Amino acid sequence: MSGDKTEKAVLWTATDAAAATGGRLAGPSAWTATGVTIDSRKVAPGDLFVAIRGPNFDGHAFVGAAFAAGAVAALVDHLPDGIPADAPLLIAPADTLQSMAALGAAARARCGARMVAVTGSVGKTGSKETLRHVLSAQGPTYATEGSLNNHWGVPLSLARLPADSAYGVFELGMNHAGEIGPLSRQVKPHVAIITTIEAVHLEFFSGVEAIADAKAEIFEGMEADGVAVLNRDNGQYARLAAAARRHGLTNIWSFGAHEEADARLVDCSLHATCSSVTAVIRGERLHYSLSQPGKHWVMNSLAVLLAVKAMGADAAAAARSLSSLQPVKGRGTRKRIQLPQGAFTLIDESYNASPAAVAATLEVLGKIDPGAGGRRIAVLGDMRELGERADALHIGLAEPLRAAQVDAVYACGPHMKALFDRLPAAMRGAWAETSVELAPIVTGAVKGGDVIMVKGSLGSRTGLIVDALAALDSGRESEDKAASRTTNQPQAAAQGQQGPRG
């Protein structure tokens, strides 16, 4: 070791990785990996590259690129074309995804961390990042990156779990029934949070009850002494609690404004940039400032503090840490964009969207006062996977828009057209079929003093509009960065990483 403080710790030696997977080492076998990745474009020096077969491309075709980027070895199921026979390879006994899952299982087994898993219709990633933030102040904490919450992302995240972690935080997502159970059995959480159950993914479910049942699969990987953390104010609370009991759990803790909640909201003051909260967390009265605005963040903070207590950490210290929490890109980041005639505020909520999430962010928008001569503007892309109720659920956003006193709506996508056509004429900015077509319209309309929020499902690609607006700021947003957003997701899926699941 060089002694460099930034040097990464070893995650896997060649022999340990081979033992975990049952694979065969070929070529040099003295390598040590400080990371694991399935995306050749994101390889860091020292990584073990896992060649996953995606729906469009085979990761084996990118092994050469991974080595060129600094990968120390590649997990493959055969010698890829163009790769020398003496390259450092770990030959999987079968499918490389199964071998990566075996790496994850071995990492989980050797780590004594207290583990928490988070799911729910909305608020998963925000709650996961909040847990990462508050627990990191109390001990070595590992949490999944981004939204690596599916059948590729969870085993990859587990394979990256450092053995010396004190706390592990994992996000579990799904689009269909039967997907969360296997992920929970891999993570084996001591604590499971279900943030809320809402009308999302209705294309694949008969109703919210079926969604609740699918989310309740998170209990399948838990031991009887685990703790289920549930939203006491949600209409599916009783159903989720019953499911937890069927899985042998007796520690069912709840959060919300309900008088019987274990983490009970006593009072909160909501502001444009923060919230002041008073809550009782299992008998401990806490006053804290939450740096993220919005009632939805307040409610999720209760779940986080309750989970912190369930993990044996200090809830009061965690509450103090909430004042320094920073937003995640695409989930509420704010930027002042300077124009020749003045600045406007850009709120990036472009990562994903559902009816409940859009309504929550519109409530935040309504608390922000525009500058002189400015307007509140909502830029909305289609909310995906809502099935036969899609148009009706989009139309239902008219009331939150009105309540937030939004001055102008710019929208894209066929379902947003149903909403747009029913808005008052004075509120209609413009509609376009795609975000690509809408972006120049929005950039041409924005002016100094405006507050503009951009939100849509990932497939709506409203991030393109965020990039276009940010590029107005003295041209500092490069074209390459904007272009990367248009190409990143398809190739990531090809190499084994899908978009977020609910």
Do 467 and 404 sit in the same domain of this protein? yes
Do 412 and 288 sit in the same domain of this protein? no
Do 488 and 381 sit in the same domain of this protein? yes
Query: Residues 419, 422, 424, 427: what is their CA dihedral angle, to the nearest 10 degrees?
Result: 20
Pair 187, 221: CB distance under 8 Å: yes
Do 276 and 364 sit in the same domain of this protein? no
| Residue at which a domain ends, from 324, 344, 365 | 324
Does residue 6 lie within any of the structural domains?
Answer: no
The beta-strand segments (E) located in 204-309 are 227-231, 251-256, 263-270, 275-281, 284-290
Structure tokens belonging to residue 350: 């472009």
The helix (H) or strand (E) run that includes residue 159 is: helix 153-159
CATH number at residue 56: 3.40.1390.10
Does residue 502 lie within any of the structural domains?
Answer: no
**pLDDT score recorded for residue 486:** 34
Pair 459, 489: CB distance under 8 Å: no
Do 247 and 196 sit in the same domain of this protein? yes
Does residue 166 lie within any of the structural domains?
Answer: yes
**pLDDT score recorded for residue 421:** 96
Those residues with Cβ within 8 angstroms of residue 172's Cβ, 6 or more apart along the chain or in another chain: 117, 118, 119, 124, 149, 154, 180, 183, 184, 187, 218
3-state secondary structure (DSSP) of residue 254: strand
Q: Helix (H) and strand (E) counts for the chain?
A: 17, 22
Do 262 and 128 sit in the same domain of this protein? yes
* Inter-CA distances, 398 with 200, 404, 419, Å: 18, 10, 7
Do 340 and 443 sit in the same domain of this protein? yes
**pLDDT score recorded for residue 85:** 87
Does residue 483 lie within any of the structural domains?
Answer: yes
Does residue 308 lie within any of the structural domains?
Answer: yes
Do 66 and 203 sit in the same domain of this protein? no
Do 274 and 346 sit in the same domain of this protein? no
Do 428 and 354 sit in the same domain of this protein? yes
CATH number at residue 443: 3.90.190.20
Do 39 and 74 sit in the same domain of this protein? yes
Q: Which residues of the chain, if any, have pLDDT below 50?
A: 1-5, 475, 477-500
Does residue 54 lie within any of the structural domains?
Answer: yes
Do 387 and 258 sit in the same domain of this protein? no
**pLDDT score recorded for residue 134:** 98
Those residues with Cβ within 8 angstroms of residue 429's Cβ, 6 or more apart along the chain or in another chain: 377, 408, 409, 410, 441, 442, 445
CATH number at residue 200: 3.40.1190.10
Does residue 254 lie within any of the structural domains?
Answer: yes
Q: Give the pTM.
A: 0.86
Does residue 273 lie within any of the structural domains?
Answer: yes
Domain of residue 293 covers 111-324
**pLDDT score recorded for residue 488:** 35
| Residue at which a domain ends, from 289, 324, 359 | 324
What's the total number of domains in the chain?
3
| Residue at which a domain ends, from 271, 296, 324 | 324
DSSP state of 53: B
Residue with tokens 């804290």: 288
Pair 10, 34: CB distance under 8 Å: yes
